[in-house]
Structure 1
Amino acid sequence: MSILTLENIHKTYFGKRVLDGLSLSLDFGDRLVLTGANGTGKSTLLKIISGQEEPDTDIGLLNLASGTVIGYLPQQLSSEPDPAKTCLSHQRYDDLMLQMRSLEEDMAEHPEQFAELSTAYDQTIRSFEALGGYGFQADLLAALYGLGLSDQILRRPLNTLSGGERMRSALAHIIVSRPDLLLLDEPTNHLDIDGIEWLEEWLSSFSGTVIVISHDRSFMDNIATHTALLSQGKMTVRAGNYSEFKETEAMIHFSRERELKKLQETLKHEQKVTQTMFSHRKMNQYHSREKRVAKLSRQINEVEKNLVSEQTRVKFSFQSDPERKTRSGCLIQAEDISLSYDDNTLFSGFSSSIFPQDRIMITGPNGCGKTSLLNIMVGSLRPSSGRVEINSRAKIGYMGQLLQFNSEVNTLLTEVRQADPGLTEGQGRDLLAGYGFREIDVFKRIQVLSGGERARLYLCKLLLQKPDLLLLDEPTNHLDIASREILEQALLDYDGALLSVSHDRYFIDKTARKIWGFIGVQVQEYNSYQSWRGMVRAGKANISVPTQSEQSEIAEKENNSGRKNTDTKQIAAEKRKKAAEQRQIIQTLEAIIHEQEAEIKSMEASFAEDTPAVVYEQYADLIQELEENTTSYLELLEKKDS
């Protein structure tokens, strides 16, 4: 049964049509992820569904199932927060509590009106229970904790919180209000990886319908039952997650290319036959063939129009250095490095090396020191202790989060020609065209570029360096999905070493062969992103978190009701949740142990007389990691059985 139906929806801003005859139907329980380039109307569509905006008048149909409750989280919160409110304040809950208390007092003081007041009280109780009843505050606390808000933040007035903290609080309130249709506009923007994983788990178990706008491809893969692409006012919807959507798109594109090639060959043959008919003055046959040629030309134009978006995408590439393939040895070596500021230690005792062909991603929670570690490895920041040795022959290309150019008043063409004086104007224009800067765009000044355009121009300059090692700090931050995927392909084709900071799980899985993962103040090397996350979860299994009863106690203190939450079902549910989390950690460790055992076996098979000493060191480290993981695994099994 459909909860939402859109038919022929149009929306125009200042003469520009953003939505052009859009149609969509969603059933109860569907989870639709909505993607597309910036400015294509994704947020506008959510605003229309939520009632924040109206579609163009007298055109189209928007129908919601009767009684549908909508929860809507925009990209930006518009209203200023009430200084008297905290994260635990919820207007609907507070109003119902006051209404119940008032009705209870009225029934006690006015027994002659008991029947009338009792009816009103029953209605209020039903509304209160529909919201979650006395378990609502405990659910709200669980959501706030899950999204990464601490006790200290929860008790502060909302107007003292950062924009990201307020957004997380708003998200928690929306998801525990039990909406039938949940509309989320870039909900992962202000979440760290723990918050994202919590939200993924919650959405996957949510029984209502969800529409999510996101550029986080792993998030989309983990939650979607359907994926939609919004482009040029039209929407393409397919069952499955984002990766499945892309696979289908690739097959359709391949089919269209084959169709185009076949049509072009047929057109060439028909043109030849037509010319022959004309030469022999067979005018009837000639005119008949002319019509066939015209029809084929129209078909070709239509297929080419469908392919044009693929052909005009940004294309990144890296020039190969023939000498690089003959080089060997370490590019950068770090020995026992640490970094501290005042009394705060970011990381300590880290040692590792970077070799040609290495693909390493640095990952960890916000503020742990990822960028600082990258800057130490490139030599722009001194460690508090230890040493870093950089191969003097290595060419290093570096792209930080703050992108600086020769001059902000330079045109794009001037900037790339200054980077490589040997480029002619034509070569410079061709190079920039590959990065999406065409025609008069090459004469733009750098100071007027958007964040994404600056990132593309900087990558363009990196191409000219032919680096042995690329150091990238959050390279996908300002790129849309299409550009991210092309960058990923370019990095897969790039034959040098890579060291990058990233929180983009899809990008990491696609390009990394090793992970430098932060856990506390320790940085360890892992074989995959999932191995690192498994160890993070295993570590958290031993950390004390607020129990359900503790959460309820905090909640009751906040609303001053004096009522204790004695709902044993909630406590049992929390126990089941913890047991499920423990099973997930055990399964993750099993996978890590299996992967490490396979890698150890592979390394042992590759040992020879000329095997470098560093490989044996890596082998020893892997053996130690396997032992530690096995110990953790056995301890968790004992806890599970006890």
Structure 2
Amino acid sequence: MSTIQLTHLTFAYPGKPNLFTDQSLQFDSSWKLGLTGRNGRGKTTLLNLLRGKLSGTGQIKSPLSLNYFPQSIPDPTLQTWQIIDAISPVELWLVQRELAMMNTDDALLYRSFSSLSGGEQTKVLLATIFADDTGFALLDEPTNHLDIAGRQQIANYLHSKKQGFIVISHDRQFLNTATDHTLTIEKQQLVITQGNFAAYERAKAVKDQTELAEQSKLKQEIGRLKQTAADKRQWSRSREGDKYGNPHKKGSGAVYDTGFIGARSARVMQKAKNLEHRLDQSIEDKSALLKNIEFVEPLKMNYQPDHHDTLLRVHQVQLYYDQVPLLKESVSFDIKRGERVALIGPNGSGKSSLIAAILGHFTGDITGTVDLTQTATRSQVRQFYPDNVGDLASFAEAHHLSHQDLLNNLKKLGVERDAFKTPIQALSSGQQKKVELAASLVTPTSFYLWDEPLNYLDVFNQEQLEDLISTVQPTMLFTEHDAAFIEHVATKKIELFPR
């Protein structure tokens, strides 16, 4: 197999600090690399550097063509097979072969691309890339638009491929199935770990513990050196004062030995300066010791439990649009105080519609009963939030939230301070999602209703939420496609099926 090399790579956007500084690495083109790291660290940027869409200093060498997902679609109203013909030189039967490996009916090739679901479009574009077995795939978040079953299907497909690839994803279970190496961006440094994401986490935990122990030792050493330097400096000052004597002390005029004392004082002072220099050098040498440890501060949740034991009862509920039932069968369940209930099911099974019905926002018809305790205050995380506009201070005031608590949670979620003055509608998609999430967290409430809260969040954010929810144990109803999050958070699951 071939080797792809990065040598002395440095890159920064104009007016911004370096994303990468003098980075060198190489990887085999047969490796299945999961690319991870905090949001804003440059994952998509690295893919664009690899494929020549951006340029920095240093060299990038690849003997293979680098094929990027998602591809640019010239005209989504065209038939899907025409789209494939426009974006790739591969023969159609090869794409059909790849779709068969994903257990996907190739009849969708003869529908307009715009009529396909997001998951179907993802499968077509992936099949087109891997139909070219001479290239190396760069996959930028292919798990978007995929439900749990679709993610597992694609993960199994990628795992079965002989070709290598780099894939960006924040779905831990997906990465653990699909990849055999992990490439991580750790504060400007690129680190390759043999094994999937779980193997990387294990190796990182061991490394972090070692570095933390070294840091503790370093702090003790620095404290000792600082005290020694201070003692020496104080002694030299006192010796310097002896040259002139103490006018308040009898027989203190030491005129005869001022030269001796001054010389000795100067030597001690120089020793103190030398010691300070060594201290500064030691601090400088060790300054990068913790550069790869991710300190993620715990989030805060303003959960205020309701006094009722049962907050929600759903009995024999069916949803209709134009008299057509949305659910395969009516649904019944209840949620007690402290339960975290996950609504699961494929895309189109009615999860978001059911949450809307519970909140009284469903625009179709409903049969059955929804009994939501009236005293239970509610807090949402929505998939779409076009009404989140204006500056954060005005947003907090309009929603009766603590502005400082909102900013604190945003900072802990990784939103940079320079974004705090930016209008919400001008923030990135990920930052806007974090505003929606942070607002829900600081809202005083007894019942959380979250619709796909992990969209745009990196693994560290996901683990923050898991730790928070496990600690606080709030009452919650949520939908999510990340299987790991569901397993860590949910106390029970309600599965829905599409009609």
Within-5 A mapping of 1:415-454: 415-420=395-400, 433-436=411-414, 441-454=419-432
Query: Could you say what secondary structure the match of 2:333 adopts?
Result: strand
Query: Could you say what secondary structure the match of 1:340 adopts?
Result: strand
Match of 1:403 among 367, 382, 385: 385
1:372 deviates by 1.1
Within-5 A mapping of 1:251-400: 251-281=206-236, 283=265, 284=267, 287-288=270-271, 290-300=273-283, 307=290, 313=296, 315-321=298-304, 327=307, 329-347=309-327, 348-381=329-362, 384-400=366-382
Q: How far apart, in 2, do the equivalents of 1:291 and 1:451 lie?
A: 52
Judged with a 3 Å threshold, the aligned counterparts in structure 2 of structure 1 residues 289 and 516 are, in CA distance, closer, same or farther, namely farther
- Map of 1:102 onto structure 2: none
Within-5 A mapping of 1:57-136: 59-60=58-59, 62-64=61-63, 68=64, 70=65, 72-77=67-72, 79-80=74-75, 83=78, 86=81
- Equivalent pair of 1:88/1:154 in contact (CA under 8 Å): no
1:62 deviates by 1.5
1:435 deviates by 4.9
- Map of 1:500 onto structure 2: 478
Judged with a 3 Å threshold, the aligned counterparts in structure 2 of structure 1 residues 21 and 439 are, in CA distance, closer, same or farther, namely closer
- Map of 2:163 onto structure 1: 208
- Equivalent pair of 1:146/1:195 in contact (CA under 8 Å): no
Q: How far apart, in 2, do the equivalents of 1:399 and 1:84 lie?
A: 36
Gap regions ≥5 residues in structure 1? 95-135, 522-642
1:274 deviates by 2.5
Q: How far apart, in 2, do the equivalents of 1:168 and 1:386 lie?
A: 37
Query: Could you say what secondary structure the match of 1:371 adopts?
Result: helix
Judged with a 3 Å threshold, the aligned counterparts in structure 2 of structure 1 residues 83 and 418 are, in CA distance, closer, same or farther, namely closer
Judged with a 3 Å threshold, the aligned counterparts in structure 2 of structure 1 residues 357 and 296 are, in CA distance, closer, same or farther, namely farther
Q: How far apart, in 1, do the equivalents of 2:144 and 2:217 lie?
A: 45
Q: Residue by residue, what CA displacement relative to the aligned partner does 1:570-623 show, whole Å, maximum 9, x if unpaired?
A: xxxxxxxxxxxxxxxxxxxxxxxxxxxxxxxxxxxxxxxxxxxxxxxxxxxxxx
Match of 1:511 among 486, 489, 492: 489
1:500 deviates by 0.5
Q: How far apart, in 1, do the equivalents of 2:411 and 2:224 lie?
A: 34
Q: How far apart, in 2, do the equivalents of 1:158 and 1:420 lie?
A: 44
Match of 2:197 among 212, 221, 242: 242
Q: How far apart, in 2, do the equivalents of 1:85 and 1:519 lie?
A: 28
- The answer to which of 279-288 and 201-210 deviates more is 279-288
- Map of 1:20 onto structure 2: 21
- Equivalent pair of 2:312/2:370 in contact (CA under 8 Å): yes
Judged with a 3 Å threshold, the aligned counterparts in structure 2 of structure 1 residues 217 and 204 are, in CA distance, closer, same or farther, namely same
- Equivalent pair of 1:417/1:428 in contact (CA under 8 Å): no
Query: Could you say what secondary structure the match of 1:177 adopts?
Result: coil
Q: How far apart, in 2, do the equivalents of 1:54 and 1:459 lie?
A: 32
Q: Residue by residue, what CA displacement relative to the aligned partner does 1:530-571 show, whole Å, maximum 9, x if unpaired?
A: xxxxxxxxxxxxxxxxxxxxxxxxxxxxxxxxxxxxxxxxxx
Judged with a 3 Å threshold, the aligned counterparts in structure 2 of structure 1 residues 396 and 24 are, in CA distance, closer, same or farther, namely same
Q: How far apart, in 2, do the equivalents of 1:408 and 1:307 lie?
A: 38
Q: Does 1:228 align with 2:183?
A: yes
1:293 deviates by 4.4
Query: Could you say what secondary structure the match of 1:519 adopts?
Result: coil
Query: Could you say what secondary structure the match of 2:441 adopts?
Result: helix
More helix by share: 1
Q: How far apart, in 2, do the equivalents of 1:320 and 1:403 lie?
A: 22
Q: Residue by residue, what CA displacement relative to the aligned partner does 1:87-146 show, whole Å, maximum 9, x if unpaired?
A: 79767565xxxxxxxxxxxxxxxxxxxxxxxxxxxxxxxxxxxxxxxxx83x63353255
Q: Report the AA paired with residue 266 of structure 1.
A: E
1:221 deviates by 1.3
- Equivalent pair of 1:469/1:497 in contact (CA under 8 Å): yes
1:499 deviates by 1.0
- Equivalent pair of 1:9/1:23 in contact (CA under 8 Å): yes
Q: How far apart, in 1, do the equivalents of 2:419 and 2:48 lie?
A: 33
Q: Report the AA paired with residue 170 of structure 1.
A: L
1:152 deviates by 4.5
- Map of 2:134 onto structure 1: 179
- Map of 1:33 onto structure 2: 34
Judged with a 3 Å threshold, the aligned counterparts in structure 2 of structure 1 residues 352 and 300 are, in CA distance, closer, same or farther, namely farther
- Map of 2:257 onto structure 1: none
RMSD: 3.6
Q: How far apart, in 2, do the equivalents of 1:320 and 1:88 lie?
A: 50
Query: Could you say what secondary structure the match of 2:35 adopts?
Result: strand
Q: Percent identity?
A: 25
Q: How many residues align?
A: 466
1:20 deviates by 3.2
Q: How far apart, in 2, do the equivalents of 1:278 and 1:177 lie?
A: 71
1:211 deviates by 1.7
- Map of 2:469 onto structure 1: 491
Q: Report the AA paired with residue 123 of structure 2.
A: R
- Map of 1:468 onto structure 2: 446
Which 4+ stretches in 1 moved above 6 angstroms? 425-428
- Normalising by structure 2, what TM-score? 0.80
- Equivalent pair of 1:256/1:303 in contact (CA under 8 Å): no
- The answer to which of 455-464 and 212-221 deviates more is 455-464
1:490 deviates by 1.7
